[in-house]
Structure 1
């Protein structure tokens, strides 16, 4: 199978099928096939929680550690990966919080470990909020497009994908924050 076609199939399956255990035969098979077919793919399978309760718990821990709202972290994770610890973007972003490998390395986290990925994403978002003086909109734009792009354009970059991303995260955050069972 062509690597791009396989990637599309894998993405579809990972986004639509979330097994309750990170060690399911289906997920192991996909990881093995991915490692065989895609050059440069990681030899490391995702670890940590793959169920929503485990992801929620990791988000709560990261929120406590960073002082960020759990609803904000869950909104970012939802928009980034649909809370999928096995998600890998076409740009190479990994896991629940879709960390780029260089970002994960600079944060000292393993992006394939769901707890570390979530904590790393929370720490990165917190640093962006600090960098942009608490401006959530700019921090979210920087999370998506990079802080250099936000600096270069003096605000949200004129990229449709980034503009849509910021709006999706903000609306998801608002919905989560106002729900009675919000995290």
Structure 2
């Protein structure tokens, strides 16, 4: 008990020194996307409420370096219904968030409960079957008309480029949450977060113009598809970490961020955990083609004025 109280005091002292840094912290586009999508799962905004899915998405944000992501994991675990509530694990994530400068974490920290020991991967104990599905169409239906227009643009242009439109849209959702003005700390820009070198490589001269940006991103995806024989897991990994890194490891690199990135892309594309571990690129394309009638109906609905 004394040890826990002393830890709380230490956390409070550290928090005071880091408050200014937390207040001025700006999340990278991929992090902001995961946080917003996690919030949709937590609150049931456009999609069915799913706290386990919210935890998985918040863990993704935390793994990418977000104190807010770890805070939200802790908050959910501290306040969830009894079946999901885990005060000891909540304390561990809240303590981590506080050490990283999140000034809300101590509001939910319970000094009466000892901290759990965190595993190597955030969310490793989350039931995979419970987080398999993300209703992308439902989520998009609650986005702004401008973002719905960008989603429709991606679907149309992907078909023109011979790219799986569902997966192209999933990458855009993971990269920027369809924000045409997004800029990352590495200077990746626009909807699908192209760095300047990639822009030059694929002829993108107006990276903040959604059509120009998406066209360049799809050209890059088409190039990656040829390089990796249509294996979308490797294509997504290369889009995240570079094709050279995928070549070096002869597969998905052993980086937690990249591994979570691939899982998140394929989850948003509508593939189950079993699909994500067993299907190659061409199988994914064939399954997607069988869904095109439904996607076209959604696209038509998005196209109509609100």
TM-score (norm 1): 0.70
Are the structure 2 counterparts of residues 145 and 54 from structure 1 closer, same or farther at C-alpha, using a change threshold of 3 Å? same
Q: After the TM superposition, which residues 125-136 of structure 1 pair with which residues of structure 2 at under 5 Å, given as runs?
A: 125-136=221-232
**Aligned residue runs from structure 1 range 142-153, under 5 A:** 142-153=238-249
- Tell whether 2:216 aligns with 1:120: yes
Q: Is the counterpart of residue 80 in structure 1 residue 172 in structure 2?
A: no
- 1:100 counterpart residue number: 195
Quote how far apart the aligned CAs of 1:72 are. 1.3
Higher RCO, 1 vs 2 (CA within 8 Å, ≥6 residues apart): 1
Which stretches of structure 1, 4 residues or longer, exceed 2 Å deviation after superposition? Answer: 4-7, 177-183
| Counterparts of residues 1-183 of structure 1 (less than 5 Å) | 8=26, 51-109=146-204, 110-174=206-270, 180-181=294-295
SS of residue in 2 equivalent to 1:112: coil
Residues 158 and 218 in structure 2, CA contact (< 8 A), matched pair in contact too: yes
- Structure 1 or 2, whichever has the larger Rg, is 2
Measure how far apart 1:60 and its partner are. 2.8
Do the aligned partners of residues 145 and 10 (structure 1) sit closer, same or farther apart at CA in structure 2, a change above 3 Å counting?
closer
Q: Which runs of 5+ in 2 are unaligned?
A: 1-19, 37-144, 272-287, 300-306
1:171: Cα distance to partner? 0.6
TM-score by length of 2: 0.43
Count of residue pairs brought into register by the alignment:
148
Question: Is contact 2:28–2:185 with CA below 8 Å preserved after alignment?
Answer: no
- The offset of 1:61, in angstroms, is 3.3
**Which 5+ residue runs of structure 1 have no aligned equivalent?**
17-49
The residue aligned with 1:25 is: none
For the structure 1 residues 82 and 156, does the alpha-carbon distance in structure 2 shift closer, same or farther, using more than 3 Å as the test? Answer: same
